[in-house]
Amino acid sequence: MMTEDSRYEAVRSRDARFDGAFFFAVSTTGIYCRPSCPAVTPKRVNVSFFPTAAAAQGAKVIGFQEVFNAPYFCQVQEAEHYKWAEPVPDGPTVRRMQELARETGMVMVVPVFEIEQSGFYYNTAAVIDADGSYLGKYRKHHIPQVKGFWEKYYFRPGNLGWPVFDTAVGRVGVYICYDRHFPEGWRALGLAGAQLVFNPSATSRGLSAYLWQLEQPAAAVANEYFIAAINRVGQEPYGDNDFYGTSYFVDPRGQFVDGTASDTKEELLVRDLDFGLIEQVRQTWAFYRDRRPDAYGDLTEG
């Protein structure tokens, strides 16, 4: 029987392109509370390099791109890619990130391919607190099935609702990639008290680039919290998708925090976020006060 340690070694060695690291391309976001936020898109890195670099700059929370510990295999429909799936939280990736969270003192949002049991697979993000404790997970609700994004082949729809986690840096939520096109989840996270929502993504030119800098700012304004929009960058094995990076942080007024990351190269983006802005905005625009849930019944029918 394969032990967890040997399984971790198997994860690391699945593809020689990894140069010994167990993820292929990441987009990392860290936030310093009054948080500061890195957004990174390296292709070949040691798993501890960017968390350590972010922590050295004062980052207190770090997040990664969608299914960060693998190439974006959903460009094809091939059963061999089920090998990337692992349990959450007891799989090797989350366990390793718990160690890194303790070492760096950072909260971590860790998106992986989860296996719950045979035949039950999810696109998941684990949330780890700054002391390394596992807080819980979010499972992606909305699963696309279009060319280059054959996700229904691999993932079941999420079934854990829209949890918000009390972390060392504040109340953190997660909404994964294609989820961002659906406003209901953004609102559910706001109603649950989210201050910062991570949106780990794998999105490419030609399909959604024109929406990337519209949707999350609009969601940040409508729901009056910060959003960390994280994307891969460049081309990977298994397809022609050209991931355009452009990771960024957007504030509750819909403004980018000191600009976006590059759309062509890897980088570590660190930003300072003032969570006090959330209350200022909510006192100016009382969207939560003025909403009419009593009138929205038809939205949940059909």
**Which distant-in-sequence residues (6+ apart) come within 8 Å of 177 by Cβ?**
66, 123, 140, 199, 200, 201, 202, 203
How many other CB atoms sit within 10 Å of the CB of residue 90? 10
Which candidate in 33, 66, 74, 114 is catalytic?
66
- Concerning whether 137 is annotated as a catalytic residue, the answer is no
- Concerning whether 83 is annotated as a catalytic residue, the answer is no
Which candidate in 33, 37, 74, 177 is catalytic?
177
CA–CA dist 273, 260 (Å, integer): 14
- Concerning whether 33 is annotated as a catalytic residue, the answer is no
Q: Give per-residue burial for 250-267: e unless 16+ CB within 10 Å, then b.
A: bbbebebbeebbebeebb
* Kind plus residue range of the DSSP H or E element containing 146: strand 145-146
**Both structure tokens of 1:** 């029987």
* Kind plus residue range of the DSSP H or E element containing 97: helix 92-104
Helix (H, G, I), strand (E, B) or coil at 123: strand
CA 184, 188, 193 angle in degrees (round to 5)? 150
The catalytic residues are: 66, 140, 177
